Chain A
Amino acid sequence: MAYTEEELKKELETKEYEYGFYTDIESDTLPKGLNEDIVIAISKKKEEPDWMTEWRLEAFRIWSEMEEPEWANVTYKKPDFQDISYYSAPNKKPKYNSLDEVDPELLDTFKRLGISLEEQKKLAGVAVDIVMDSVSVATTFKKTLAEKGIIFMSISEAIKEYPELVKKYIGTVVPQKDNFYAALNSAVFSDGSFCYIPKGVRCPMELSTYFRINQAGTGQFERTLVIADEGSYVSYLEGCTAPSRDENQLHAAVVELIALDNAEIKYSTVQNWFPGDKEGKGGVFNFVTKRGLCEKNAKISWTQVETGSAVTWKYPSCILKGDNSIGEFYSIAVTNNYQQADTGTKMIHLGKNTKSTIISKGISAGKSQNSYRGLVQVNSRAKNARNFSQCDSLLMGNECGAHTFPYIEAKNKTAQIEHEATTSKIGEDQIFYCNQRGIDTEKAIALIVNGFSKEVLNKLPMEFAVEAQKLLEISLEGSVG
């Protein structure tokens, strides 16, 4: 039976969000609204030291004077920041020593998500620090990591246990005043992950965190801080799925990476938050600030697979401060129905002999809008800087849009910068070629899309590739084999 693109389109439209469900766990929620008292209350609830409370208040003051940015190529109903509850933590929260003690309902949630803790524990050495509604509930493999001197815990624990480390690095890459959402996050962040790899240590396993948005009407403000000390290596994974909800949910996370001399950080994300139904109702607003700082000979690599969220606004960036440092950005952004994505990266070349690579693949289907926005900046002292950028867009159907806004600024004559972008649809001749060889159209499209995104999928760590595949399937069901 011939499978046409129209049929595929229809299938894509009717494909409901598979992972949409809602777990009823009692939450300890603060009243809606945002003012200094709420910020202080959040800080108190987390039993934070005074300097942290001050830091949050400073961020809040900055935020109150900022205006919400409008330059992104997305349209949405602005969230009412006074109608959001800024803190909710799962209840019954004594620290568990074994899985048996964990709330069975919560365990069930993870099972349905395909993240069984038992399995995770047994499987290929992935330590999972699960953040459910902002508070770390379970941390596994802490002992193994502790032997190596690696600190991997929730950021609120880290503030208590390693205040000097947190104090030294928090806000150094993404300062409170960086942008509207970063300031908001700095004021009210509820939890997140903290990771420190000591000098010369190669982290033996992939560190991963699963973020979920749960409680209705709760914004999620994660704060992640990863520090790789001199000569160390870490691969960090982050993945997200969220339950169906009619009300728009706001997510404004901040991720800071610090790679000291000769260190390497690999940060991979699979994001599949609820994108809204096929009428474009509901869905998560994802306004994230992610940035990494590279010292001498350091390397930061971002790999992003984005399939979810109603509105995405995200630019994982690298500041290549040290000489010979390397920044990489690999991304696939899939938008369907009424999704809007404005994503990209910034590569700021400050040091000598710095290199950066940008590979961005956008796939738009349905009535979605997919934008790439990138900045490559070579400073006057960045001798022999090298950049290669490639952003390709694939359009499926004639109601979607693909946009590219690359900014390239060079102030040094030794800079070598290349940028190329293409936009195309799946060629009829390509499908015909496959058909001719007995591959039906559905499989052919799968093949082509797979090939299109392969450069990026290949960059994902093995442990994550399976999940990425799964998420791509949901977004473009029928087109990825």
Chain B
Amino acid sequence: MDLKDKLISSFMMFENNVDIDSPVHDVRTEAMKNFELKGFPSKKQEAWKYTSLNNLQKVDFSIFPKEVNALDYKDVKKYFVNEIDTYKIVFVDGIYSSFLSETTHDGVDICLMSSALTKPMYKPVIDVYFNKIASKDDSLTTLNTAFSREGAYIYIPKNKMPKKPVEILHFATGNEATLMLQPRNLIIVEENAELQVIERHQSLTSNEVLTNSVTEIFAAKNAIIDYYKVQNNVGTASLIDNTYIDQKDKSVVKVHTFSFGGKLTRNNLNFYQNGEHIDSTMKGVTILGEKQHVDHHTLVHHIQPNCESHQDYKGIYGENSTGVFNGKIIVDKIAQKTNAFQQNNNILISDKATINTKPQLEIFADDVKCSHGCTIGQLDEEALFYLQSRGIPKKEARALLMYAFANNVLASVRIPELKTRINKLIAKKLGVNLGFDL
């Protein structure tokens, strides 16, 4: 039985465990229909030209994990940004772990999707926001919608800011030989409110895991959101991350994606600017080796005038790795005075590595400034020579240059401890001790 059929038949089992009379379930049923119709995307589709899911579909993933696995905090401490105090929403094999988590209802709601979807007090919010911005057409998103039950739920009311950043962690224990996870997150930040989120998916063994995650983010007027995605999973874990962001007037949303690990990673990052004077930023550092594959698909849809978007993705590709970047900017006819910038720089350090990039502009308004730039190159030989002539060994010199290459993406990370961690990850990934503290 292939994965699609398995998922379709699992849906009936899934229905046994959820309230099938709630309006949310109508949304799920509708979404399931779309998935049944479309199935998994194939390479024939333009958006999946460079990324194949064929191998994943051959794996007999278990859809419902059998038992809860208790994890000791000391065993997984290193996966948290443990230098600082944070709110934590932790899932073990897709099931909420109250032991590892730290949630709150003190002025802000940082809790669980499962309670938000079932408890009556959240119903007004769910009615307005749930599945409103996520695609009802994209097959993988609708697959997630169909199975949506658990994930993070964050609601920040007007003029509030949580005391500390929120960490969303998904652990896979390896208790199942293969596991498919479909977390569903909903994040709402109301007027003048602010939020910082760090999201991470981590397998603890080398058992195969596929995560198909959907996150919906709503930024109201003047809201500020910083979202950091740390993708440094083991080489047997695959991730399909679908993020949809709806922005209103003067909101500022920044998404940073750090892709260092995993077997296959696909990031679908979609921004919809439903207001004026909006600022959207998406930045990414990708450093790959082995046979890793990372595919960044970004979309910025400028729907209203006077908005800005900034994209900056840097990639370093070694060994047999493959990188894909597809950035799409759409400027609607009425979205005059739009400034949209896109930058994608790549370094290939192995003859067997591949990079496919497609920065794409679709512009229907005339009074706009839009640009995209993309480069593929190598490290500057002269700079390398300069450093070597000053007694820095070649390996470190190369690392320094690569570090510098990725650095301007890190500059906008606003949690210093996270920045230090990312810096260390980069150094580790490049396999060198830089000789100074980052």
Contact = CB atoms under 8 A, between A and B. Distances in A.
Main SS at interface, chain A: strand
B137 to A, nearest CB: 18
Contacts of B361: 393, 402-404, 421, 423
Contact of B359 (A380, A399, A402, A419): A419
A416 B345 CA distance: 11
Interface stretch (A165-173, A326-334, A338-346, A406-414): A406-414
A207 interface: no
Given A418-B375, A423-B370, A404 B355 contact: no
A425 B370 contact: no
A402 B360 CA distance: 11
Contacts of A425: 366-368
Interface in B321-353: 333, 336, 346, 348-353
Q: What band does the interface of chain A fall in when counting residues whose beta carbon is under 8 Å from B? A: 35 or more
B376 A398 contact: no
A315 to B, nearest CB: 15
A222 to B, nearest CB: 30
A260 to B, nearest CB: 29
A405 B46 CA distance: 12
30 contacts: A380-B352, A393-B363, A398-B336, A398-B364, A398-B366, A398-B367, A402-B361, A402-B363, A403-B362, A403-B363, A405-B358, A406-B358, A406-B359, A408-B355, A408-B357, A409-B354, A410-B348, A410-B376, A412-B351, A413-B350, A415-B376, A417-B376, A417-B377, A418-B375, A418-B377, A419-B374, A421-B372, A423-B368, A423-B370, A423-B371
Contact of A420 (B349, B353, B373, B377): B373
B365 interface: yes
Contact of A422 (B350, B364, B371): B371
Interface string A415-444: 111111111110000000000000000000
B394 interface: no
A71 interface: yes
Nearest to B343: A420
A403 B363 CA distance: 6
B371 A420 contact: yes
Contacts of A401: 362-364
Nearest to A390: B373
Contacts of B358: 405-408
Contact of B355 (A400, A410, A419): A410
B376 A408 contact: yes
A4 B356 CA distance: 44
Contact of B372 (A380, A395, A404, A407): A404
Interface residues of B, number: 35
B369 interface: yes
Given A401-B364, A421-B361, A422-B371, 7 more contacts: A393-B363, A404-B362, A409-B357, A410-B355, A410-B356, A420-B372, A420-B373
Contacts of B375: 416-419
Contacts of B372: 404, 419-421
A40 B356 CA distance: 44
B360 A396 contact: no
Contacts of A404: 359-362, 372
Nearest to B50: A409
A413 B336 contact: no
A400 B366 contact: yes
B310 to A, nearest CB: 15
B10 interface: no
A406 B374 contact: yes
A397 interface: yes
A414 B381 CA distance: 12
B378 interface: yes
A166 B351 CA distance: 39
A396 B378 contact: no
B167 to A, nearest CB: 36
B333 A413 contact: no
Given A407-B356, A421-B359, A416 B376 contact: yes
A183 B346 CA distance: 38
B365 A398 contact: yes
Contacts of A424: 368-370
A417 B350 CA distance: 16
A395 B366 contact: yes
A158 B354 CA distance: 44
Nearest to A377: B356
Nearest to A376: B376
A412 B363 CA distance: 32
B50 to A, nearest CB: 8
B378 A423 contact: no
Nearest to B370: A423
Contact of A412 (B336, B348, B374): B348
Contacts of A407: 356-358
Nearest to A402: B363
A413 B370 contact: no
A-B CB proximity, top 4 nearest:
A395-B366, A413-B348, A417-B376, A425-B366
Nearest to A398: B366
Nearest to B376: A417
Contacts of A406: 358-360, 374
B289 to A, nearest CB: 13
A409 B366 contact: no
B356 A409 contact: yes
A413 B351 contact: yes
Contacts of B370: 422-424
A395 B365 CA distance: 8
Contacts of B359: 404, 406, 419, 421
A404 B362 CA distance: 6
B349 A395 contact: no
B354 A410 contact: yes
A420 B346 CA distance: 14
Nearest to B323: A410
A403 B358 CA distance: 12
Contacts of B357: 407-409
A414 B377 CA distance: 7
A396 B369 CA distance: 14
A412 B352 CA distance: 7
Contacts of A398: 333, 336, 364-367
Contact of B378 (A71, A408, A411, A416): A416
Contacts of B366: 395-398, 400, 425
A378 B378 CA distance: 14
Contact of A409 (B336, B355, B373): B355
Contacts of A420: 371-374
Nearest to B325: A408
B371 A421 contact: yes
Nearest to A71: B46
Contacts of B350: 413
A424 B359 CA distance: 17
Contacts of B348: 410, 412-413, 415
B271 to A, nearest CB: 18
Given A403-B362, A409-B354, A416 B371 contact: no
A400 to B, nearest CB: 7
Contacts of B336: 398
